[in-house]
Amino acid sequence: MSAEGALDLTQANDGGVYFVDAADFDALAAAAKEGNLYVCRADLAGCLDKGELLRRLATALKLPAGFGQNWDALVDSLRDLGWLHGVGHALLLDHANDLRQAAGKDFDTLLAILHESASFAIGQNRPFFAFLSLPEHPIALPTHG
């Protein structure tokens, strides 16, 4: 049983995109692993454009060499993460503010893709969480009660 106020990462319906403080990443990664979710971490420090973002995500997600390096390929990949073993997936994207400040449109597109991927996963009853660290967003996770 989870502590009061804690997000249950095994519940597919809780899946989604969350803005958190980077200091919470280790606890989130531990909770995800405890729930048998595959954890992908990507550091976006100095990530200033779509090309660099897609390269870093391809590495973190262990995407095949033929990954298309475009938004559609990212959507397709996030819908089918079967090569990453686990009952679900947790993406931890550190320093997301660098991308947001340098390329706001690319940041917004990434958020839309992550939201769509989470909705798709909910439809499959598969937990999918994306945690982005932003300096002005302390952890604010949903509670169950």
Does this model's pTM top 0.85? yes
- pLDDT for the residue 28: 94
Q: What is the mean pLDDT of residues 36-60?
A: 94
In a domain, 141, yes or no: no
Can you spell out the DSSP letters for 94-118? ETHHHHHHH-HHHHHHHHHHHHHHH
The residue type at 15: G
Place of tokens 């990453």: 84
| Domains in the chain, number | 1
Q: pLDDT grade, residue 6 (50/70/90)? A: low
pLDDT at 1 over 50: no
pLDDT at 60 over 60: yes
CATH code (residue 129) = 3.30.370.10
Can you spell out the DSSP letters for 19-41? EE-GGGHHHHHHHHHHTTEEEEE
- pLDDT for the residue 67: 86
Task: For 102-136, write each residue's pLDDT tens digit.
Answer: 999 999 999 999 999 999 999 999 999 999 998 76
For residue 48, the enclosing domain spans: 12-133
- Residue 84: closest CA among 49, 107, 58: 58
In a domain, 56, yes or no: yes
In a domain, 139, yes or no: no
In a domain, 71, yes or no: yes
Tokens of 48: 């200033």
